[in-house]
Amino acid sequence: MALIKAELLKLRTTRLWWVMLAVTIAYVLLQLGLTIGFAGQGGGPNGQPIFPGRDTVPFQELMWGLGASGALFPMILGVVMMTAEYRYQTITTTFLTTPRRERVVVAKLGAGVVVGLAFGLVVLALTAVAVAVSVPLSHGELVLSAKILRIAAGVLAVLVLYTLFGVGLGALIKNQLGAIVAAVVWVFIIEALVNAIPALRPVGKWTPAGAGSAVTNSGVDLGLGTDYLLPAWAGAVVLLGYAVLFSAVASATTIRRDIT
């Protein structure tokens, strides 16, 4: 517990966390705005709308899942929690304080949970405001179904799990720039492709993005299809699995290396 508190204090005493939070907010607001803007507009293959209309329940379900799109940023924060220690050579002091190194990794994962939850709650609050404003304006009726609760919980889970994924990735790669580039390339290029190309989807559903989509799956098909995804619980397990696997491999390899 003390170590988790120390990790959170490390975050709070530097500036990066609020830069990342601001970027997350901006990005999610953009997503919410676009969805509101295009809701009910034509453009599908037969002229039917891609996004459900603002007065429909699927629209609300779709909106509640959008927060997950901001997961890249807490993930980067998770990466930096680990790599900054090597970049600024604070890792020496950290390991002198806690010579059992795997405890440091575990503490960072613990702090990552808190970070992910905090980001998730902010993102859900934004969503709540966006939904509460846009739906009544279009004379829709606000709903809070079990499905929406599941989606909202899924958003929290995705943000937490991506943060952990970042910590694990950072521990494995250690080089800050390298790890961030790897994360961005992975999320924006590899995962996006693998989940967009039908033939690759059997693989795609096992990627963090596929697993993340499973967790927040609203069932609203934006043209890419959602049937191939894992069940929500399995998605969460897959995401957690990545974080644990990376951290465990890192603890056994990179983290054990000599600090000279």
Partner 1 sequence: MSAIEIRNLCKAFGPVRAVDGVSFTVEPATITGYLGPNGAGKTTTLRSLLGLCTADSGTALVNGQRYVELPHPLSEVGAVLEATNFHPGRTALNHLRVLCTAAQLPRERAAEALEQVGLADVADKRVLAFSLGMRQRLALATALIGHPKVLILDEPANGLDPAGIQWLRGFLRYLSHEQGAAVLVSSHVLAEVEQIVDNVVIIAKGRLVRQGSLAELVSNGDAAVRVRTTRADELVPALERAGATVERHDGFLRVSGLEAESIGQIALDAKVVLSEVAQERSDLQQVFLELTGEGQG
**Residues forming the site for partner 1 (CB under 8 A):** 2-3, 5-6, 9-10, 13-15, 84, 88-90, 92-100, 256, 258-260
Kindly tell me which of 125 and 259 has the beta carbon lying closer to partner 1. Answer: 259
Minimum CB separation from partner 1 for residue 113, in Å?
Answer: 18
Q: How far is the CB of 176 from partner 1 (least distance, A)?
A: 12
Please identify, using beta-carbon distances, which residue of 143 and 252 lies nearer to partner 1.
252
Q: How far is the CB of 257 from partner 1 (least distance, A)?
A: 9
C-alpha Rg value of the chain to the nearest Å = 19
Q: Which is nearer to partner 1, 8 or 62 (CB)?
A: 8
Closer CB to partner 1, residue 96 or residue 199?
A: 96
Report the nearest approach of partner 1 to the CB of residue 159 (Å).
Answer: 24
Q: Shortest distance, CB of residue 110 to partner 1, whole angstroms? A: 13
Tell me the closest approach of the beta carbon of residue 260 to partner 1, in angstroms. Answer: 6
Q: How far is the CB of 82 from partner 1 (least distance, A)?
A: 13
Closer residue to partner 1 in complex, CB, 54/174 = 174
Q: How far is CA 204 from CA 66, 69, 82, in A?
A: 19, 17, 27
Q: CA distances (Å), 170 to each of 1, 84, 166, 243, in order?
A: 22, 9, 6, 11
Considering beta carbons, is residue 211 or 250 the nearer one to partner 1? 250
Q: CB nearer to partner 1: give 7 or 191.
A: 7
